[in-house]
Amino acid sequence: MAKVKSKYVCQNCGYETAGYLGKCPECGAWASFVEEVSGGKLSETAVLLPDTNPPMKLSDIEMNTEIRTTTGISEFDRVLGGGIVKGSLVLIAGDPGIGKSTILLQTSGELCKNGKNVLYISAEESASQIKLRAERLGVKADNLYIYPQTNFELIKKHIEEMHPDLVIVDSIQAIYTSTIQSSAGSVSQIRECCNSLMSLAKTNNISIIVIGHVTKEGNIAGPKVLEHMVDTVIQFEGDKYKTYRILRSIKNRFGNTSEVGIFEMGGKGLREVVNPSELFLKEYNQTQTPGSTIIVTSEGTRPLLVEIQALVGTTPYPAPRRIANGVDTSRVLQILAVLEKRIGLNLSKQDVYVNVIGGIDVSEPAADLGIALAIITCVRDVVFDSHTAIVGEIGLSGEIRAVNHIEKRINEAQKLGFKRIIIPAANDIQDKIDGIEIVCVRRIIEAITRSVKKDNGREDI
């Protein structure tokens, strides 16, 4: 008979050791080791299992169209891909205080208005705290049940008895199952509870939304497997000190990812922002100062106009500083390198600061040209035309590369009253769009000469 071997495997990264360890030396996760036994006599049941699911032809498989329930909040629906899919498990993650409990209580209220039953498991707050929030949000619903409970077995019992349309678990870090010794919030508790919730959702065909906290480093607390387990992961972002919030889907088995929904936090909870570009341009000054441009970025399938500001000044430090907020610092460094090599703009003795106004993150390369022009206008102390928007990726040889969703971006700029838009010639736009002049550029130098005017109106910098 084969010898029985036992090893301990980190459930976070897969690191293996012969004995139990409290902390994984590879990934630093705590209490993540689980014993795995291999070898020994094979279980006879493994051989006797009935084969109910034989391989079948793709063409023979019947499609079950998923049943979606709209949440009553269209920005939330958009991020979910058109509503909550029946029997799915959704994870909403975000910093403490960002508004996770608020949006889910509002969603519960909307669903109840449409005759659905909702069970809200509050593992962090008391029933009266939830009631207080519901009063503030104006949520009145007879078929909304609040259950302050942290024990998973009791939660399971009530879900099975009540069979609601939607269950909300606030939060996954605060519940525990009695089958595991460790305390609530530990890696193994989170994993086990999430796994059990997943099978509960699938076997009973109930939609479950769980709230997850984000660690200081910005990761969803708990093992990465949490993200793998659930059907949909939605990140709730925003600046706690500002009023708007962004819901972003980062994984969705039933829809598009990187779709965003935008909200504003007010005295009566979260309000949908129907025209987000207006929100981001609210403080945009029409009588501008040098170093500011407007770009059209694309979040998922939605175009957004945002302002980029740059500040360039002589450095008092031996090594100049490059600080970027809302854009990737390495992208700014690359743009500076291209500007130096291709148009001879030497900033090695200058500090450079780049800021995306409104606090959203613009990660796509289509923002390159807007960043470059903000830097150039600041260096040359000229004002960029306040009615011109910019899109374009900058290649290493100074060429302007094509971007996606160009028609949507142009239309959005036109809708918001921009008179001109600078786009990559590589996008090959033939059609004219009423009310907006389309300027196609091939190289960075062409973008500069065709867009930056001095106060005296000369078309150069």
Site of interaction with Mg ion (CB under 5 A) = 101
Q: Is 241 in the site for ligand TYD (CB under 6 A)?
A: no
Tell me which DSSP letter residue 150 carries: -
From 90-98, 156-164, 175-183, 320-328, span contacting ligand TYD (CB under 6 A)? 90-98
The residue written with tokens 């059209």 in the block is 296
Q: Which is nearer to ligand TYD, 72 or 398 (CB)?
A: 72
- Closest distance to Mg ion from the beta carbon of 95 (Å): 11
- Find the binder of ligand TYD among 73, 91, 98, 208 (CB under 6 A): 98
Confirm or reject binding of residue 140 to ligand TYD (CB under 6 A). no
By CB under 6 A, residue 130 contacts ligand TYD: no
Q: Which residue has the tokens 């600080």?
A: 323
Among 32, 102, 177, 377, binds ligand TYD (CB under 6 A): 102
The distance of closest approach from Cβ of residue 233 to ligand TYD in the complex, given in angstroms and rounded to an integer, is 16
Q: For ligand TYD, give the closer residue by CB, 39 or 96.
A: 96
Selection from 376, 394, 398 nearest residue 312 by Cα: 376
The least CB distance from residue 211 to Mg ion, in Å, is 7
252 neighbors 85 (Cβ within 8 angstroms): no
Listed ranges 198-206, 263-271, 365-373, 438-446: which one lies at the site for ligand TYD (CB under 6 A): 263-271
Residue closer to ligand TYD by CB (options 73, 352) is 73
Question: Which of the stretches 97-105, 144-152, 289-297, 394-402 binds ligand TYD when contact is defined by CB under 6 A?
Answer: 97-105
CA distances from 270 to 3, 19, 296 (A): 60, 50, 25
List beta partners, residue 310: 354
Q: Which residue stretch of 10-18, 129-137, 317-325, 453-461 sits at the interface with ligand TYD (rule: CB under 6 A)?
A: 129-137
Closest CB to ligand TYD among 234 and 354?
234
Q: Rule CB under 6 A: say whether 136 interacts with ligand TYD.
A: yes
Among residues 140 and 268, whose Cβ is nearest to ligand TYD? 268
Per CB under 6 A, does 106 bind ligand TYD? Answer: no
Inter-axis angle of helices 100-113 and 127-137, nearest 10: 70
Smallest distance from Mg ion to CB 143, Å: 22
Q: Does 248 bind ligand TYD (CB under 6 A)?
A: no
Q: Say whether residue 94 binds ligand TYD (CB under 6 A).
A: yes
Of 27-35, 108-116, 130-138, 146-154: span binding ligand TYD (CB under 6 A): 130-138
Cα separation values, 76 from 70, 258, 278, Å: 9, 13, 19
Query: Judged by CB, which is closer to ligand TYD: 94, or 392?
Result: 94
271 binds ligand TYD (CB under 6 A): no
Cα 208 to Cα 230: distance, rounded to the nearest angstrom? 10
**CA-to-CA dists, residue 321 to 34, 45, 327, 348, angstroms:** 46, 65, 15, 10
Residue placing its CB nearer to ligand TYD in the complex, 133 or 450 = 133
Q: CA–CA separation, 284 vs 287, rounded Å?
A: 9
User: If you write DSSP's letter for every residue of 225-283 in order, what string do you get?
Assistant: HHHHHSSEEEEEEE-TTSSEEEEEEEEETTS-SS-EEEEEEETTEEEE-S-HHHHHTTT
- For residue 35, the 8-state DSSP code is E
Which class for 185: exposed (0-12), middle (13-18), buried (19 or more C-beta within 10 A)?
Answer: middle
Helix, strand or coil for residue 1? coil
Among 14, 28, 40, 96, the residue binding ligand TYD under the rule CB under 6 A is 96
How do 260-266 and 322-325 pair as beta strands? unpaired
Nearest CB to ligand TYD, comparing residues 244 and 280:
244
Q: Classify 195 as helix, strand or coil.
A: helix
Q: E-assigned strands of 78-194?
A: 84-85, 89-94, 118-122, 144-147, 166-170
**According to the binding rule CB under 6 A, does residue 427 interact with ligand TYD?**
no
Q: Which residue of 23, 163, 242, 268 would you call a contact of ligand TYD, by CB under 6 A?
A: 268
Least CB distance to ligand TYD at residue 354 (A): 29
Q: Which does 265 bind (CB under 5 to 8 A by kind): ligand TYD, Mg ion, none?
A: ligand TYD
CB of 229 to ligand TYD, least distance (A): 21
Q: Amino acid identity, residue 451?
A: S
CA dist., res. 167 & res. 121, Å (int):
7
Q: Which residues bind ligand TYD (CB under 6 A)?
A: 94, 96-102, 133, 136-137, 265, 267-269
